[in-house]
Structure 1
């Protein structure tokens, strides 16, 4: 489990370096059917090498000290047996689009990984109870991503490495949408059809592995030499 905790810490710092989180945000990785590990409840860029992550049940009360919005992670893991990693983040482009109550259209390659469409949760209150968490994940639907109006977003992947890449992808998807809106061409610009998007959303060619390497380059727990 310590190797998985190291991955959680590395992901937390990577998301911080990429500017996708700041004082707020959290990430987690599934341990087994009934448990996952979540990063420490503090700014993710400040998570220290070797710092303890917390084991959280997929169902039931959150352990003491775990942030309330980790309920979002619980609901995803409970409903998606294939989910191996979750990221709750606040990328700057994503925050703007979420505040507008809009989701990005699928206009470029990164966006295809959110077929059929990014979800939108319109309640601006923080998700700190089971009822709101369930509602938010209902709004996420079958997508890998969710925008939360006024509060950022959530992504789920087959692993935490994949979810970290998806956070980068969703932020870039929002960047493209905001550029389209700024240009005045959003209504006439092309969007990618669902069938084409499903074919484009490949995992082959080390797609997520290369993004993981890019985002985690220079991390102290990767750079450290084994004893």
Structure 2
């Protein structure tokens, strides 16, 4: 791993701890960052929030079988990096509001600013089984398409961004979009409340104004690295 930028390892560890600190993962979940066209760096095979400062992350090839000791669902990351060359970071997470909505077989509509990033709504992979074989991973990534997120019925979600920092921010946004959708359902307004149209969502889903940089600073505040 001597050719890997140490700053990238720090970013992966900070992302793992931020996801745990903010309740986006618990015992399960993982995140990764692309090293180059052929490799990516993934969190240790343990609860992400328990990742230690300086702990070694794991190098995974974009092509070929997963190395020994790598969690089976990391093949989702692998296939995203293989088919989406613009993606630099992936998060697999199981946050509470998103898990509840996915368990209902629903995904959130674009009802507020955070939801705009997934307009008109993130796709649903309608299979509650763990994604531990290549065929299922291919199905999840096909459902994701060129989007920023895919939700899996009863089994969490995946976000993909140009950087890991952005993928973490998108996980935060998706959890909040699911919170708003559940509130609309509870109020009986899910079918009648306004949603952002395509142009409103396009304009609102911006990277300008250091949107993701500020969110990263918030999510990683107090991190030991």
- The answer to whether TM tops 0.5 is yes
Instruction: Give the corresponding residue for 1:189.
Output: 193
**Root-mean-square deviation (CA), in Å?**
0.8
Aligned-residue offset at 1:183: 0.3
- In the TM superposition, what are the counterparts of 1:152-167 in structure 2 within 5 Å? 152-167=156-171
Aligned-residue offset at 1:115: 2.9
Aligned-residue offset at 1:79: 1.2
- The CA deviation string for residues 45-75 of structure 1, in whole angstroms up to 9 with x for no partner, is 1100000001111111111110000011011
Instruction: Give the corresponding residue for 2:220.
Output: 216
Aligned-residue offset at 1:119: 1.2
Question: Among 39, 44, 47, which residue is 2:48 paired with?
Answer: 44
Q: Which runs of 5 or more residues in structure 2 are unaligned? A: none
Contact map agreement 2:109 2:120 (CA 8 A) in 1: no
Matches of 2:91 and 2:153, distance apart in 1:
17
Contact map agreement 1:22 1:44 (CA 8 A) in 2: yes
Instruction: Give the corresponding residue for 2:129.
Output: 125
Matches of 1:162 and 1:178, distance apart in 2:
24
Runs of 4+ aligned residues of structure 1 deviating over 2 Å after TM superposition are none
Contact map agreement 1:116 1:143 (CA 8 A) in 2: no
Residues 116 and 189 (structure 1), Cα distance of their counterparts in 2 relative to 1, 3 Å cut: closer
Instruction: Give the corresponding residue for 1:108.
Output: 112
Aligned-residue offset at 1:194: 1.3
Q: Which runs of 5 or more residues in structure 1 are unaligned? A: 222-227
Secondary structure at the residue paired with 2:35? strand
- Further displaced range: 136-145 or 63-72: 136-145
- In the TM superposition, what are the counterparts of 1:25-40 in structure 2 within 5 Å? 25-40=29-44
Matches of 2:189 and 2:45, distance apart in 1:
41
Matches of 1:209 and 1:63, distance apart in 2:
33
Aligned-residue offset at 1:220: 0.1
Aligned-residue offset at 1:143: 1.6
Kindly indicate whether residue 101 of structure 2 is the aligned counterpart of residue 81 of structure 1: no
Instruction: Give the corresponding residue for 1:199.
Output: 203
Secondary structure at the residue paired with 1:32? coil
Contact map agreement 1:91 1:152 (CA 8 A) in 2: yes
Aligned-residue offset at 1:142: 2.4
Instruction: Give the corresponding residue for 1:135.
Output: 139
Q: TM-score, with normalisation over the residues of structure 1? A: 0.96
Aligned-residue offset at 1:125: 0.8
Q: How many equivalent residue pairs?
A: 221
